[in-house]
Amino acid sequence: MRALLTSLCFLIGMNLGVVVVAQQAPRLDEVNLVDLSHAYDDSTLFWPTSPIAFEHNELAYGPSGNGYFYSAYTFATPEHGGTHLDAPIHFAEDAPTVGDLDINELYAPVVVIDVIAHANTDRNYRVLPADIEAFEAQHGMIAAGTAVLIRTGWSRFWPELNAYLGDDTPGNADNLSFPGIAAETAELLVQRQVALVGIDTASIDYGASTEFPVHVMLASNNIPALENLTNLNLLPETGAWMLAAPMKIGEGSGAPARVVAFVGR
């Protein structure tokens, strides 16, 4: 399906007189792997209203009594915290859950939209259609089936709660402040038929949002989202691929994810 969409997008783009960003999947022996995920531990950040954080409790650690070392733990975590994937059902009724998602649709070519300069001067910056259009003027139209990652530079604040979220009041999300995506930009990405959207902040909607229009727009069009990414500074603006591998929680509205980029050597 992705190959068909990319071909159609290419033909449409040629008819419009523009060049479409279309990328071939890399050979694994020709790439370096870049981990785009934060670790889950005591420092992992969650939405302020989350009832729990990451919990990791020891069951066993030490000699087993049978001649070998043995360790085991339990863990518990909210779906939405740390580096994680939002399934469409997170903001769209009867939409796909994490367990419904096709892993093939979570492997995609990547474009990186860099808005660090804007975010550095406005911590409430929302990525505008003009940012996407400026990228496309330089690189060509974003092809259907592409993963669009937004690079704000915000992961440099992780895991400092106040710096990252803009407020550290327990249980209160009213004063959050960090960059996100504008609603009209989400509409444009839907038009581009992107595979998924990711960002290196706590939410694809900016911190002060109360209606979460970007979540609603993407989820309503069955587009998953990735939040709290890191190491986007190690990716080129075009040419990489990525795999988002969420924990397969069958009925999950989201899940912790190990997100890996494949960057040509």
CA neighbor of 141 nearest in space, from 1, 3, 8:
8
Q: Write the DSSP string, the chain.
A: -HHHHHHHHHHHHHHTT--EE--PPPPGGGEEEEE--PPPSTT--B-TT-S---EEEEEEEEE-SSSSEEEEEEEE--SSBSSEEE-GGGTSTT---GGGS-GGGGEEEEEEEE-HHHHHH-TT-EE-HHHHHHHHHHH-EEPTT-EEEEE-SGGGGTT-HHHHHS---TT--TT----EE-HHHHHHHHHTT-SEEEESSS-SS-TT-SS-HHHHHHHHTT--EEES---GGGS-SEEEEEEEEE---TT-SEEEEEEEEEEE-
CA neighbor of 38 nearest in space, from 243, 201, 195:
201
Asked if residues 177 and 225 have their Cβ atoms less than 8 Å apart, the reply is no
Q: What angle do CA 259, 238, 181 make, to 5 degrees?
A: 65
pLDDT in tens, 247-256: 999 999 999 9
All residue ranges of the chain with pLDDT < 50 are 3-17
What are the structural domains of the chain?
2-51+79-264 (3.50.30.50)
Phi–psi pair at 260, nearest 5 degrees: -125, 135
Asked if residues 175 and 62 have their Cβ atoms less than 8 Å apart, the reply is no
Encoded tokens for 113: 């939209």
For the chain, the maximum distance between any two Cα atoms, rounded to a whole number of angstroms, is 72
Question: Residue 63: is the preceding peptide bond cis (ω within 30°)?
Answer: no
What is the structure's pLDDT at 23?
A: 72
pTM of the model: 0.91
What is the structure's pLDDT at 21?
A: 55
Encoded tokens for 258: 């190990």
Asked if residues 22 and 9 have their Cβ atoms less than 8 Å apart, the reply is yes
What is the structure's pLDDT at 85?
A: 98
